[in-house]
Structure 1
Amino acid sequence: MKSLYTIGIAGLFALNAHAQNAKPEDTEVWSPEPKMVTPAKTLGGAPSDAIVLFDGKNLDEWVLLNDSTSTQKWKLANGAMTVDKTKGDLRTKRNFTDYQLHIEYQIPMVIHGTGQGRGNSGIFLAALPWGAGGYELQVLDNYQNKTYVNGQVGSIYKQSIPLANAARKPGEWQTYDVIWTAPRFNEDGSLKSPARVTAIHNGVLVQNNYILKGDTPYIGQPAYKAHGPAPIKLQSHGDPSEPISYRNIWVREL
C-alpha cells in the first residue's frame, strides 16, 4: 500500500507535468465580447447607453405621483429642478428593474431646521403603487446636523446605516451613484430573491451590496410585497425647511 507521502509526491509531479503542457491561450476567453459603451466626455456625464432622465432642459421624463396628467410639475430653472412642496412627489414615466443611477442634488445654502426637518427628500429606487411605499435612499442635510443614524443621508431609510457620513456643506452640489438590483418574486407572490443596493455618495462608498429586508416604511417593519418593474421617485418631503434641487439624472439599465 502506497504511503500518503508517496501519493502526494506523485500528485505534485502530475500537476507540474500538466503546468508544463499548459498554454496561455487555454484560459483565454474571446467571446462573447462586451458591448461597446462610450464614456461621457465630462465627469458625471451620461455614457452612450444611458437613458437621460433630466438634463436641465425639461421634465418630459417625469410626472407627478398623484397626478400623472398635470403639466405643472416641479420648478425648473438654471438647469435644475427644485422640489415644489405643493405638488407632491415626482416619479419617472418609465419603469425599471436593475440599473445604474447617477443623480446630483443640492441642499439650499440658506437652510433652517434640525434633524429630519432639514433638507429632507429621498430617492425611491423603486416606487411601489401602494401609498408611499418603496425602497428609499435618504437625502438629508447631515453636514453638522445630527439625526438617527439609520435615517441620515446615505442610509437605506430605517434599515441600513451608511458606512460613512460624506455630506457636503449646504449650497454645494452632491452626487449619488447607485447600483440597484430589484427583488424577484415567485408566481405565488413569495420572495424569490431580495433587493440589493450599492451606493456611493460624493465619491465615498456608503452602502456595499446591502441586502434589503423589504421596503422602507416610516412606521413599522420592512416587508416585501410582490411587484414588477417600477418607477424611480423623488420625494417632496413635508418638512418646513427650504426645498432641495436635483440635476444631471441618468440611468443605465442592467
Structure 2
Amino acid sequence: MVQPQTFFEAEEGRTVAVGMATDHAAYSGAGFAAGFTENGSSTRISVDVGESGSYDLAMRYSNGPNPYSGQKQLSLYVNGERVEQTVFPSTVTWEEWGTVTTTVPLNKGRNVVEYRKEAADSGHVNLDVLAVRPHGKRITLFNGRELTEWQHTDGREPTWTVADGAMTVRNGDLRTVQAFGDFRLHLEFNLPLYPPDVTGQARANSGVFLQDRYEIQILDSFGIDPPQKNDAAAIYNQKAPDVNAALPPETWQTYDIVYRQARYDAAGKKVENPRVTVVWNGLKVQDDVEILGPTGSSRPEGPAAGAIRLQDHSNPVQYRNIWIEPLDL
C-alpha cells in the first residue's frame, strides 16, 4: 500500500511575488517561501489526499521581529474559496519555527491550498512546509522504520541509526518538523548499561524537550532514592519526580506525557505558565505541575507552538513507538 504524502514544501508551490530563501537555518526541503510583503503575493500548494474528509493543515512558519514583533496574518484559500485569515503568533526570532494548524474539508484527489497576502493581512512571514493529516487522528512520530517526521536542529536530514524497530542517538539532537501546542505524547526508551564507576549525569543521559523549551529528563536513575531534580522524569532542574519508577538499564521504559502549553494574550505577554503531567512506567510522577520557565539548552519562550526534541547527550539511548495526539486543553 502506498502511504499518502504528508509534507508539501511551501517554496515548491506556484508562487507570486514570493521568493525562495535559505538565510535562516533549520528549514525543511530546499528553502522556504519568504516575504509576503505585497498584496497578492502568495504560494499555491497542490495537495493530494486519498479520500474526502476533514484534514488538518499544519503550516510551519517563522515570524520574527521585522517590521514589528507580534501576530501577523495571511489569508488561507482552499480550492479557490477563502477559509480564514490565518494568524501566525510570534516565533520571537527568524531562526525559530512554529506551526499553525487549520482544519478544513478536502476533496479526494487534488486540492489547492493557497496562502495569500491581502490588504487586511500584515504579511511579513516565512512559510516552510505544510503537513496535511486527517483531522483528529493520532500522529505516529516514529514507526520503527522511518525518520520522515524528524530533522536535526540545524535542518540536516536525520542520521540516527534505525535497527530492530528502534532509533539510536547519534550526531546531534533530533526534533519534529511539525510543532505542537497542547498534546498527549507517548514514547519508549531503552538505556545502555554502564559500569558502576560511571555515575550521575554520565549514566545514559538524554531528554525529551516539550515544545523545544522544557526538558523531561531521561537518565539511568534506577535505585536512586529519593530522586533529584536532575534525575529521570524530572522537569529538569525544576522539580524531581514524586517517586522513582525507574526500571533497570537495558529494559524498555515508557513516558506518557500530557502537556498544556503556556497561554499568551494578543500582545504576546505570557499570562499562564505551561503545565505537565508525566506517567513513567505506569506511575504518575508529575501531576499537572506548573513549569516555571525554560529548562536550559532550549528555544526562547513565546506564543508559537514548538517541536518535540530528543536530546543527544553522547550516550547511545534508544527510542521506539513515539506518537502524539494534539489536544485542546
Fold similarity call, TM over 0.5: yes
Instruction: Give deviations 1:91-145, integer Å, cap 9, x for gaps.
Output: 0011100000000000014566210111000000111xxxxxx100000000135
Percent identical among aligned pairs is 39
1:79 aligns with 2:165: yes
Alignment partner, residue 245 of structure 1: 318
Summarize the Cα distance change of 1:119–1:137 in structure 2 as closer, same or farther, 3 Å threshold.
Answer: same
Alignment partner, residue 112 of structure 2: none
Summarize the Cα distance change of 1:224–1:207 in structure 2 as closer, same or farther, 3 Å threshold.
Answer: farther
Alignment partner, residue 232 of structure 1: 308
Alignment partner, residue 103 of structure 1: 187
Give the distance between the partners of 2:184 and 2:203, measured in 1 at CA. Answer: 28
1:53 aligns with 2:141: yes
Give 1:195's match in structure 2, choosing from 271, 274, 279: 274
Structure 1 unaligned runs (5+)? Answer: 1-47, 128-133
Amino acid at match of 2:316: P
Residues 134-153 of structure 1 aligned to structure 2 (within 5 Å): 134-144=213-223, 149-153=228-232
Alignment partner, residue 157 of structure 1: 236
Structure 2 unaligned runs (5+)? Answer: 1-135
Equivalent position SS for 1:116? helix
Instruction: Give deviations 1:23-72, integer Å, cap 9, x for gaps.
Output: xxxxxxxxxxxxxxxxxxxxxxxxx8210000101101000112x1x335
Aligned residues: 191
Amino acid at match of 1:250: W
More strand by share: 2
CA RMSD, Structure 1 to Structure 2 (Å): 2.2
Summarize the Cα distance change of 1:168–1:148 in structure 2 as closer, same or farther, 3 Å threshold.
Answer: closer
Give the distance between the partners of 1:224 and 1:208, measured in 2 at CA. Answer: 25
Segments of 4+ moved more than 4 angstroms: 145-148
For normalisation by structure 2, the TM-score amounts to 0.55
Larger RCO: Structure 1 or Structure 2 (Cα < 8 Å, ≥ 6 residues apart)? 1
Alignment partner, residue 120 of structure 1: 205
